[in-house]
Amino acid sequence: MTTEALLIHDHADACKNCGTATHGNYCHQCGQPAHVHVPSAREFLHEFLGHYVALEGKLWKSLALLLFKPGFLSREYIEGRRVRYVEPLRLYLTFSIIFFALFKLSAVDIINIGNGRDSTRPAVSAPAAVQAPDEDLSRVGSEARLWLRGISPRLEQGADRFLAMPREEQKATSKRVFFSYTPYAIFLMMPVFALYLKLLYLGSGRRYGEHFLFALHSNAFAFFMLSLFILADGWNFVRFVLLAWLVFYLPTAMRRVYGGGRAMTALRWVVLLALHLLTLVTVVSLAVALGLLL
């Protein structure tokens, strides 16, 4: 064998990532494939769809179970049957990205700033007793500024900066901040959602990781249903069906995963929903407010 052939042979048998001699299709040291090449545009597209958006063959099986068999996908994952399905985190991220993209394109007013001071006044004024005097609004604004100053002078400066903007710029800024911070705030709510489940099912023997898994699956389903709700604009009956299934899905999934009677499951569902909505509104409001003021 010539020297050039030996060099080619040695180069082919050495892992290009860590330099370890390879035997087989994968490096036993770092796990990289032994035979690598510059990927084509088609391979790049396949990798993006398969690894980042989760649009691969097993998505359809996972989606069918997620939509029509509440709780079944979580049970499959808990019991160890996992490789045939999309991972819960990827499923959640995929549907949350789709939902927020559709929500942003739907042109819904997230925060109603109201009309500017120069807007047209009605021909007939409201009674003096129900009008909001300018001095009252000024007093409320002064108290709010003092409260923000007590927390941080930076927050007070942010409030002054935001209030000094024109109304249209305020609306645009509010919308940008909402879509920048809300997805992260909702994602950070998943551990809290799992904590509520842990407290509601104390004594069940379930580990926290199992509750977190159920939280990802149930919220992925909610994002998918809400995405369909946006797409079904003008189809009132379809929207009614989607909302009805969204309401009854969670208690059905809870009973399939955790067991228990219908009455106790319904009670836990009501408490879970109330806690989650309260926390969700609080966290999103704080995230948006801080995003506007900082």
Considering its fold, how many domains does the chain have in total?
A: 1
Answer whether residue 89 is part of any domain. Answer: yes
Q: Is 272 a domain residue?
A: yes
Helix (H) or strand (E) holding 286: helix 262-293
What is the span of the domain harbouring residue 102?
Answer: 66-110+166-293
Helix (H, G, I), strand (E, B) or coil at 135: helix
pLDDT of residue 38: 61
In a domain, 125, yes or no: no
For residue 120, tell me if it sits in a domain: no
- pLDDT given for residue 5 in this prediction: 44
Exposure b/e, 139-151, CB count within 10 A at least 16 = b: eeeeeebeebeee
Reported as type and span, the H/E element at residue 78 is helix 72-78
pLDDT tens digits, residue range 90-147? 889 989 999 988 888 876 555 555 554 444 444 444 444 444 444 443 444 455 555 5
pLDDT digits (tens, 9 = 90+) for 197-243: 999 999 888 999 999 999 999 999 999 999 999 898 889 999 999 99
Q: Say if 128 falls within a structural domain.
A: no
**Could you tell me the pTM of the whole model?**
0.69
Tell me if 8 is assigned to some domain.
Answer: no
Pair 253, 71: CB distance under 8 Å: yes
Average pLDDT for residues 74-84, to the nearest whole number?
88
Q: Does residue 184 sit within a domain?
A: yes
Token pair of 68 as six digits: 């029509």
Does residue 141 lie in a domain region?
no
